[in-house]
Structure 1
Amino acid sequence: MATRRLMVPPAILGGPVVLLNATSSDGLPCVLPDDDRAGRAVATALLEHGHRDAIALIGRNRLKEGEPEISLAARARLRGIQQALGDAGVTLLTESFCTEWLPEHGYAATRALLNRPQRPSLATTALPHELMGRRAVELLLDGGAAEPSFVAMPLRRRRSLAPPAR
């Protein structure tokens, strides 16, 4: 689920409400992940592992990035990545755009990057949906990359309410 702005049903506005992973135009209290920090952490991980050139950003979608009802996370993650890379004097080789944030689109975007004459040496994803990045990683691990790649992407830790299986 992407962090986004919601239209809160009037029926629940009469009582105490705290939004989790969402904001509203009603100014309700909310708890949000720090997606800006997640983006900075992704870029910092790349830099700390010596990656400074041929970095590709997979999964841009300017229409969705600019639409708070779809995602607040994408713009914040992108801002964090750009700030950390900019502070280090690093620029992106390319950005890959996707019409949808779905696993198959991440796979297709990664495949297209790997088929370019000037291939990125690694890929980083700034996505509101981890599954899209996971499919990109699957392609790289399945031998889609001629050379080893380092893929960094922000993930949200989700915990199940069910006890661990024994």
Structure 2
Amino acid sequence: MPKATLRDVAERSGFSITTVSHVLNDVPGKRIPEATRERVRAAAAELAYTPNRLAQGLRLRRTNTLGFISDHIATSPHAGQTILGAQDAAADYDCLLLLMNSGSDAELENREIQALRDRQVDGIIYAAEYHRVLTPPAALAGVPAVLLDARPADAGFSSIVPDEVGGAATAVKELIDHGHRRIGFVTNITDIPATALRLAGFKKALKTAHRHFSRALVVEDISEAHGGFRAARVLLDRQPADRPTALFCFNDRMAMGAYQAAAECGLRIPEDVSIVGFDNQELIAASLRPGLTTVALPHYQMGQWAVHALMRTVEGSANGSLRSEVMPCPIVRRGSVGPPPRS
């Protein structure tokens, strides 16, 4: 069956092609009675009419495509939710999302950005693997763009990052609310923004609760399970009177290592030691026994936000204003937190 045209819809509804076009394209400022609009839409539905996106794009000077380019996010554990959030939001605007992954290769990245520009995408989301401060590539100049999980070194781009400080403070408050006073921090040794910001959140929660911060209870290692194991052993091998009753871990991988360290020390979770992670990596947090209480990075929501911010610029509703947003990180409670053991 041939595809229905505007003329077909006009003949079925009994109105002119101009009126049908105005209704189906939601042309603003046209005083068309609601009864007319309903008849036109009903006729379009009966004929399974779909608009000509190419013609619309030529009229609006838009391609209804958005670029999504990143360094490693396409292969990171969190990529699925970030991309899904961006795709769902793009669908709200009837846009397609074109994904590219540079692998931190600057030359490849420039070629990919140019390829997106050659295809006349309406805008580009530039995503980073970690929350960090960066200088966006010069190839982004002149095209609407936003940063996802990164902040620009200088003004010029809207950006979205997770609230690392607030998320860490929430995690530690969960332990404090259960009665823990001696809380260790198993943290990352790598100098990235998340390392400093989560330490700041750890200190903030202690200060809010009028608890003393002890540097001796902070142990650094690489942010993997074996790093978490080593750091947790340093804290849990202490004499009972000096040993923390709870551990806040930089991420869920380090928390998994802390579980192993607790088991080797003969400690039960949460009866003898409580553990909280960060990231909410489902394959880890929900699979551990007991399930790991952790703080979720809002990847899906950040992907959505990036598209909405980008489309405000594309559609001219941003009025030239730039926005730098910090998105809350909610706690996900499972079974790894309980009251401290009795002396």
TM-score range, shorter chain: 0.7 to 0.9
Contact 1:3 1:73 in 2 (8 A): yes
| Counterpart residue number, 2:133 | 5
List aligned pairs for 1:1-166, cutoff 5 A.
1-27=129-155, 28-52=157-181, 54-59=182-187, 61=189, 64=191, 71-92=192-213, 94-98=217-221, 100-117=222-239, 118-125=242-249, 127=250, 129-140=251-262, 142-147=263-268, 148-155=272-279, 156-158=297-299
Q: CA deviation at 1:80?
A: 1.8
Unaligned 5+ runs, structure 1: 65-70, 160-166
Q: What letter corresponds to residue 103 of structure 1 in structure 2?
A: A
Q: CA deviation at 1:92?
A: 4.2
Contact 2:225 2:256 in 1 (8 A): yes
Contact 2:187 2:195 in 1 (8 A): no
Q: Distance in 1 between matches of 2:245 and 2:266?
A: 9
Structure 1 pair 152–35 and aligned structure 2 pair: CA distance change class (3 A)? same
TM-score, structure 1 normalization: 0.76
Q: Distance in 2 between matches of 1:158 and 1:143?
A: 34
Q: CA deviation at 1:158?
A: 4.9
Contact 1:114 1:145 in 2 (8 A): no
Contact 2:228 2:257 in 1 (8 A): yes
What is the number of residues matched between the two proteins?
147
Give the secondary structure class of the aligned counterpart of 1:32.
strand
TM-score, structure 2 normalization: 0.39
Q: CA deviation at 1:60?
A: 5.1
Q: Distance in 1 between matches of 2:142 and 2:255?
A: 40
- For CA contacts below 8 A with separation 6 or more, give which structure has more relative contact order: 1
Identity of aligned residues (%): 24
Structure 1 pair 103–6 and aligned structure 2 pair: CA distance change class (3 A)? farther
| CA displacement, residues 101-131 of structure 1 (integer Å, 9 cap, x when unaligned) | 2321111111222222332222112x2x432
Give the secondary structure class of the aligned counterpart of 1:90.
coil
Unaligned 5+ runs, structure 2: 1-128, 280-296, 301-343
Higher helix share: 2
Give the secondary structure class of the aligned counterpart of 2:145.
coil
Deviation beyond 3 Å, 4+ runs, structure 1: 142-145
Contact 2:162 2:298 in 1 (8 A): no
> What root-mean-square deviation, in Å, do the aligned CA atoms of Structure 1 and Structure 2 show?
2.2
